[in-house]
Amino acid sequence: MASTMDALSPEAMLTFYRRLYPFKSVYGWLNHDHMPTRQWTHREFAFTLAGDVYVRYKSYNNADELKADVCKLNPSRFEIGPVYSARPRDKKTVRQLTPLQRELVFDIDMTDYDPIRTCCSEANICKKCWKWISAAVKVLDESVREHYGYEQLLWVYSGRRGIHLWISDPEALDLTDAQRKAVVGWMNVVVASGQNEGMKKVNLRAGTKALPPPLQAALDTLLPYFTSIVLEEQDCFGSEKGYEALLEFIPDVKVADSLRKTWSADPTKPSASKWLDLKAEVKAKDRSQRAPLMHAMEDIILHYTYPRIDAEVSKHRNHLLKAPFCIHPKTGRVCVPVDPRGIDSFDPERVPTIGQLLGELDEGMVVEGEESSPDSDVQRTSLAPYVEMMNKYATSLMDLKRKAKQDPDTLAW
């Protein structure tokens, strides 16, 4: 059946929602409880329907209601918003609908790396450029845990060329917009400055001082990535345009001129060799002149490897973000959860597509007398390990909530 229909047709989407989409797992993850709480009932869902119709302020009493509505409207995707002061679906009748809670979210997208990546452009992505995402996941995951003390992190592949992070610690859910903005300010090193100007570095250090501790720690994590991605695979400085961008970071005009002279004679000289040239120039300087150049080298490493975060997504509680397990409308891939510890071996091209999953459903025959249920359906497809991961995580959130209820002091710090 599935093999005969177009992978992204409405029929295929409907089959996916009816038989495979893990509504119960998503419910557990958002609700932190078996019984529906405000975290579920007052939660906004938004649907993208055929013809780019966008429906907001939907909310449900339980997971089954969501499933019924999704199957009825068959959206091409749906998004998750904040927990409001009232049920979003009562928007017209309630006096106020204020966003109260929301997972702290981060969005990293390959587009923001376009000015520096050389392997692909625009919507395309390959294993080489995905490494930047790997580096970003490592740094962000570590920082969120070490600096902010958050532990309930869910990483979700966005289905094409990016990744989302959802943080569900109770303290993170309660953050105000101002506090979210502060986290983003702390995290952001590289910010976009207009469409065609590429990227501009900001806010790295105070004056001529050493890097602040969080960036120093990130630098250690990022150094191997800089060598393998920037210097080797992407060969970011292997063209005139590429090395000119590098030279912009050099504060010492003499050093920059000398390097430019050498490199213009051999513009495609490999980036790794050019980096050695720079190192040699820096070493030749006496101590007082060396410091600013060393700083510049650190700045370059951060500029080319530090996570590029889409700040607007994180700053506001009422920003909507695509739900996990949705199908990416262009690639047909499922937005699956990702284990950050295995991020280096994660291959976006091996993420199951809707066509593949429906094919798998067709092949596995339902045993005579056995009812087909979403649980058993999922088990017969390559979606199973991802749903299993989500279930485990949702269970840990519920455990945490139960413990907090029994012993309220453990969280009250």
Partner whose footprint covers residue 119, from Zn ion, other proteins, none (CB < 5 to 8 Å by kind): Zn ion
Q: Rounded to an integer, what is the distance from CA 42 to the centroid of its chain?
A: 25
Identity of the residue, 210 or 223, whose beta carbon is nearer to other proteins in the bound complex = 210
Per CB under 8 A, the segment of 55-63, 184-192, 354-362, 370-378 that binds other proteins is 184-192
Identity of the residue, 178 or 365, whose beta carbon is nearer to other proteins in the bound complex = 178
Rg of the chain (C-alpha set): 24
Identity of the residue, 126 or 398, whose beta carbon is nearer to Zn ion in the bound complex = 126
Q: Which of 69, 107, 235, 299 is catalytic?
A: 107
Establish if 185 lies at the interface with other proteins (CB under 8 A). Answer: yes
In the list 11, 114, 171, 277, the residue contacting other proteins (rule: CB under 8 A) is 171
**350 Cβ contact list (under 8 Å, min separation 6):** none
Per CB under 8 A, the segment of 76-84, 212-220, 267-275, 325-333 that binds other proteins is 212-220
Residue 409 token pair: 């002091």
Partner whose footprint covers residue 98, from other proteins, Zn ion, none (CB < 5 to 8 Å by kind): other proteins
With tokens 């596995």, the residue in question is: 364
Is 44 in the active site? yes
Task: Tell me the closest approach of the beta carbon of residue 124 to Zn ion, in angstroms.
Answer: 6
Per CB under 8 A, the segment of 119-127, 143-151, 240-248, 357-365 that binds other proteins is 143-151
Task: Tell me the closest approach of the beta carbon of residue 139 to other proteins, in angstroms.
Answer: 15
Taking the C-alpha atoms of residue 28 and residue 363, their distance in angstroms, rounded to an integer, is: 30
Total residues contacting other proteins by CB under 8 A comes to 29
Task: Tell me the closest approach of the beta carbon of residue 363 to Zn ion, in angstroms.
Answer: 32
With tokens 């990744």, the residue in question is: 163
Identity of the residue, 215 or 231, whose beta carbon is nearer to other proteins in the bound complex = 215
Establish if 210 lies at the interface with other proteins (CB under 8 A). Answer: yes
Bridge partners, 353 (sequence order) = 333
Contact by Cβ (8 Å): 316, 181: no
In the list 16, 29, 150, 386, the residue contacting other proteins (rule: CB under 8 A) is 150
**322 Cβ contact list (under 8 Å, min separation 6):** 77, 78, 79, 80, 158, 159, 164, 335
Total residues contacting Zn ion by CB under 5 A comes to 5
CA-based nearest residue to 336, from 397, 394, 388:
388
Binding mask 79-118 for other proteins (x = CB under 8 A): -----------------x-x--------------------
Partner whose footprint covers residue 10, from other proteins, Zn ion, none (CB < 5 to 8 Å by kind): none
Q: Which amino acid is at 35?
A: M
Is 177 in the active site? no
Residue 283 token pair: 């070493």
Backbone angles phi, psi at 355, to 5 degrees: -60, -45
Residue 46 token pair: 């938004």
Identity of the residue, 163 or 184, whose beta carbon is nearer to other proteins in the bound complex = 184
CA-based nearest residue to 133, from 229, 65, 59:
229
Q: Which of 109, 298, 299, 360 is catalytic?
A: 109
Residue 202 token pair: 């900001």
Per CB under 8 A, the segment of 21-29, 56-64, 206-214, 340-348 that binds other proteins is 206-214
Q: Rounded to an integer, what is the distance from CA 27 to the centroid of its chain?
A: 20
Identity of the residue, 68 or 182, whose beta carbon is nearer to other proteins in the bound complex = 182
Per CB under 8 A, the segment of 74-82, 176-184, 251-259, 403-411 that binds other proteins is 176-184
Alpha helices in 163-212 (DSSP H): 170-173, 177-187
Q: Is 375 exposed, middle or buried (0-12, 13-18, 19+ CB in 10 A)?
A: exposed
Contact by Cβ (8 Å): 292, 208: yes
Taking the C-alpha atoms of residue 142 and residue 32, their distance in angstroms, rounded to an integer, is: 24
CA-based nearest residue to 304, from 331, 281, 275, 270:
275
Binding mask 98-137 for Zn ion (x = CB under 5 A): ---------------------xx-----x-xx--------
Q: Which amino acid is at 268?
A: T
Is 109 in the active site? yes
Q: Rounded to an integer, what is the distance from CA 339 to the centroid of its chain?
A: 12
Taking the C-alpha atoms of residue 187 and residue 309, their distance in angstroms, rounded to an integer, is: 8
Partner whose footprint covers residue 182, from other proteins, Zn ion, none (CB < 5 to 8 Å by kind): other proteins
Residues at the contact surface with other proteins, assessed by CB under 8 A: 96, 98, 145-150, 171, 175, 178-179, 181-186, 203, 206, 209-216, 413
Residues at the contact surface with Zn ion, assessed by CB under 5 A: 119-120, 126, 128-129
Q: Which residues are catalytic?
A: 44, 107, 109
